[in-house]
Chain A
Amino acid sequence: MATVSVASSVESRPQPSAPLVPKVKASGLSFYYGAFRALKELDLVVHENCVTALIGPSGCGKSTFLRCFNRMHDLYPGNRYEGEIRLYPDDINLLAPGVDPIEVRMRLSMVFQKPNPFPKSIFENVAYGLRVRGERSGRTLEGKVEAALRDAALWSEVKDRLHQLAFNLSGGQQQRLCIARALATDPELMLFDEPTSSLDPIATASIEELIADLKKKVTILIVTHNMQQAARVSDFTAYMYLGQLIEFGRTDELFIKPKNKQTEDYITGRFG
Chain B
Amino acid sequence: MPYARDLKSIRRLIAAHKRWDLVFACCGVLALMVGLLTFIALFVDMAIDGVPRLNWDFFTNFPSRHAAQAGILSAWVGSCLVMLVTAFVAVPLGVGAGLYLEEYAPKNWVTDVIEINVTNLAGVPSIVYGLLALGVFVYQFGFGQSILSAGFTLALLILPVVIVATREAIRSIPVGIREAAYALGATQWQVCKDHIIPYSSAGILTGVIIGMARAIGETAPVITIGALTFIAFLPPSPIKAEPPFLSFEWLTSPFTVMPIQMFNWTSRPEAAFLQNAAAAGFVLVLLTLAMNGFAIWLRYRLRKNIKW
Task: List the interface of chain A (C-beta within 8 A of B).
Answer: 70, 72, 75, 77, 102-103, 105-106, 109-110, 112, 114, 116-119, 128-129, 131-133, 165, 167, 178, 181-182, 185
* Contact partners of A109 in chain B: CB under 8 A: 183-184
Chain A neighbourhood of B186, CB < 8 A: 102, 128, 132
Closest to A106 in B: B185
Q: Which residue of B lies closest to A178 (CB)?
A: B180
Are A167 and B187 in contact, CB atoms less than 8 angstroms apart?
A: no
Residues from chain A with a CB closer than 8 A to the CB of B174 are 116
Is A132 in contact with B177, judged by CB distance below 8 angstroms?
no
Most buried by B among A75, A109, A185: A75
- Mark B residues whose CB is within 8 Å of A: 106-107, 174, 176-187, 190, 194-195, 199, 305-308
In the complex, residue of chain B having the shortest beta-carbon distance to the beta carbon of A74: B182
**Would B179 and A132 count as touching, CB distance under 8 A?**
no
Are B306 and A119 in contact, with the CB atoms below 8 A?
Answer: yes
Q: Among A110, A114, A133, which residue has its beta carbon within 8 angstroms of that of B183?
A: A110
Give the complex CA separation of A110 and B178 in angstroms: 13
Additional A-B contacts beyond A119-B307, A128-B194 (14; CB < 8 A): A102-B185, A106-B184, A109-B184, A112-B180, A118-B180, A119-B199, A119-B305, A119-B308, A128-B184, A129-B185, A132-B185, A167-B305, A182-B184, A185-B184
Which residues on the A side are within 8 Å of B195 (C-beta)?
A: 118
Bound-complex Cα distance A133 to B187 (A): 11
Contacts of B176 in A (CB 8 A): 112, 114, 116
Does A132 contact B182, Cβ atoms closer than 8 Å? no
Pairs A-B, 9 closest by C-beta atoms: A106-B185, A116-B176, A129-B184, A110-B183, A105-B185, A116-B180, A119-B306, A132-B186, A102-B185
Complexed CA–CA distance, A133 and B186 (Å): 9
From residue B105, how far is it (CB to closest CB) to chain A in Å?
11
A117 to B306 Cα, complex, angstroms = 11
Tell me the smallest distance from the CB of A116 to a CB of chain B, in Å: 4
Contact of B179 among A112, A128, A185 (CB under 8 A): A112
Chain A nearest CB, measured from B276 CB (Å)? 49
Contact B179 A105 (CB under 8 A): no
- Which of A109, A110, A116: most chain B CB closer than 10 A? A116
* Complex contact A128–B305 (CB within 8 A): no
Selected A-B contacts with CB under 8 Å, 19 pairs: A72-B183, A77-B107, A102-B185, A102-B186, A103-B185, A110-B183, A112-B179, A112-B180, A114-B176, A116-B180, A119-B305, A128-B184, A128-B186, A132-B184, A132-B185, A132-B190, A167-B306, A178-B180, A181-B180
Query: Given A116-B174, A128-B194, A165-B305, are A105 and B180 also a contact pair (CB < 8 Å)?
Result: no
Nearest-neighbor residue (CB-CB) of A129 within chain B: B184
Give CA–CA (A167, B307) in the complex, Å: 8
Which residue from chain A places its CB closest to the CB of B190 in the assembled complex? A132
Taking the closest CB of chain A, its distance from the CB of B193, in whole angstroms, is: 11
Given contacts A167-B305, A167-B307, contact A77 B184 (CB under 8 A): no
> A77 and B305: CB pair below 8 A?
no
CB A261 to nearest CB in B, in angstroms, measures: 37
Quick check: B190 and A77 within 8 Å, CB to CB?
Answer: no
Docked complex Cα distance between A77 and B105 (Å): 11
CB nearest to B180 among chain A residues: A116
A117 to B305, CA, bound (A): 13
The distance in angstroms between the C-alpha atoms of A118 and B199, with both chains bound, is 9
State the CA gap A181–B308 with chains docked (Å): 20
Q: Which residues does chain B contribute within 8 Å of A114, judged by CB atoms?
A: 176
Whether the Cβ atoms of B179 and A181 lie closer than 8 Å is no
B106 CB contacts on chain A under 8 angstroms? 77
Of the candidates B178, B187, B305, B307, the one whose C-beta lies within 8 Å of that of A102 is: B187
B-chain residues with CB within 8 Å of residue A132 when the two chains form the complex: 184-186, 190
Q: What chain B residues lie within 8 Å of A77 (beta carbons)?
A: 106-107
A118:B181 contact, CB within 8 angstroms: yes
Q: Which residues of A contact B305 (CB under 8 A)?
A: 119, 165, 167
Give bound CA distance, A105 to B305, whole Å. Answer: 28
Contacts of A165 in B (CB 8 A): 305
| Bound form: Cα–Cα A181–B186 in Å | 13
B263 to chain A, nearest CB (A): 46
* A178 to B183 alpha-carbon distance, docked (Å): 11
Which of the residues A75, A117, A133, A181 comes within 8 Å of B182, measured between beta carbons?
A: A75
A204 shortest CB reach to chain B, Å: 19
Contact B183 A70 (CB under 8 A): yes
| Complex CA–CA separation, A75 to B175 (angstroms) | 11
Residues of B within 8 A of A102 (CB): 185-187
- Rounded to whole angstroms, the CA-CA distance of A174 and B106 in the bound complex is 33
In the complex, what residues of B have CB within 8 A of residue A105's CB? 182-185
A241 to chain B, nearest CB (A): 26
Bound: A128/B190 CA distance, A: 11
**Which residues of the partner chain A approach B177 to less than 8 Å between Cβ atoms?**
116, 118-119
Pair A75/B107 contact, Cβ less than 8 Å: no
Most buried by A among B106, B176, B182, B183: B183
Complex interface: chain A residues within 8 A of B179 (CB): 72, 75, 112, 116
